[in-house]
Amino acid sequence: MQFYKKLFVLSLLLNLALLSSITYIVHRLGGLKYMIHRVNNKDIAGIYEHRKGFFTMLPKQKGGIVFLGDSLTEYGQWAELTQHPKVINRGIAGDTTPNLLRRLDHIVDLAPSKIFLMIGINDFLFFDRPQILINYKKVVQQLRTQLPTTQLYLQSILPVNPTIRKMKFSNEEVRLLNTALQQFASAEGLVYIDIHQSLQDADGNLDAHYTKDGVHLNGLAYEVWKKELSAYLGNSAD
């Protein structure tokens, strides 16, 4: 009888160890909700990997101005919009802070003179605000460590419009995170650029004049965004 009790205890301990290992791995990969999302959206994941892989094949244009982020960055025709020959778009639709961390090596290889970072809106689908902030800081710290001479600009996360499209998070959460990002930028001696305020309406939502789906932006919005960056881009000879 004693033998079976010991066997039961050993089995229980092994199962707990296995469960702990699985929990840790899932957490490292972005959490349960994020893992389920990846499994249920294989096509999106494939498109993401295609674009990321494409970047590695392109010539490494050293000293460029990199726009880094998710679909909001990717969908902006930044080179044409800014008329700046050194602008490089490295936005990928659906990107999150954990995914961005895993592709920073390519950005480091470019040795850019400037990086304009906007990331975090997709994270609200998977993580709470404190975790997003932790992940965001990891992105910034890695960039600063590996690119000490690159000028890094932190752009605010943009508002959404829940009257056009139902959201799983509120603009109040976005504003609170932006406040934390602004404080972080100040503490780190980095420039924080508030695009959020320029694109919101009187209710604090993404202005309906700038969007059809409540999240993504039209050309008018990108013009506003460009104007907010004009003081930091420099001229084409820089």
Burial 188-201 (b: 16+ CB within 10 A, else e): eebebbebbebbbe
**Partners of residue 89 on adjacent β-strands:** 67
The pLDDT value recorded for residue 29 is 44
Please name the residue that has the structure tokens 């600009």.
Answer: 153
* Residue 156 burial (CB count, 10 A): 24
Output the six-digit token pair for 85: 């020959």
Whether 68 and 90 have beta carbons less than 8 Å apart is answered as yes
The domain spans of the chain are 61-233
Q: Where are the alpha helices (DSSP H) in the chain?
A: 2-28, 32-40, 42-57, 71-74, 78-82, 97-101, 104-110, 129-146, 171-188, 196-199, 219-233
Taking only the tens of pLDDT, the chain with its 238 residues reads 565 565 555 566 666 655 565 554 444 444 555 455 454 544 456 777 887 777 777 778 899 999 999 999 999 999 999 999 999 999 999 999 999 999 999 999 999 999 999 999 999 999 999 999 999 999 999 999 999 999 999 999 999 999 998 898 999 999 999 999 999 999 999 999 999 999 999 999 999 999 999 999 999 999 999 999 999 998 654 5
Output the six-digit token pair for 126: 């998977």
The pLDDT value recorded for residue 46 is 72
The pLDDT value recorded for residue 30 is 46
CA distance 181 to 28: 23
Q: What is the DSSP letter of 102?
A: T
Q: Which amino acid is at 152?
A: L
- Whether the pTM exceeds 0.95: the reply is no
The pLDDT value recorded for residue 43 is 47
Angle between helices 129-146 and 171-188 (to 10 degrees): 30
Nearest Cα neighbor of 93 from 134, 130, 41, 57 is 41
CA angle in degrees (0–180, nearest 5) for 209-215-217: 50
The pLDDT value recorded for residue 212 is 95
Q: Kindly tell me the burial class for residue 202, based on how many C-beta atoms sit within 10 Å of its own C-beta (0-12, 13-18, 19 or more).
A: exposed
Fold assignment, 61-233:
Rossmann fold (3.40.50)
Whether 37 and 86 have beta carbons less than 8 Å apart is answered as no
Angle between helices 42-57 and 32-40 (to 10 degrees): 90
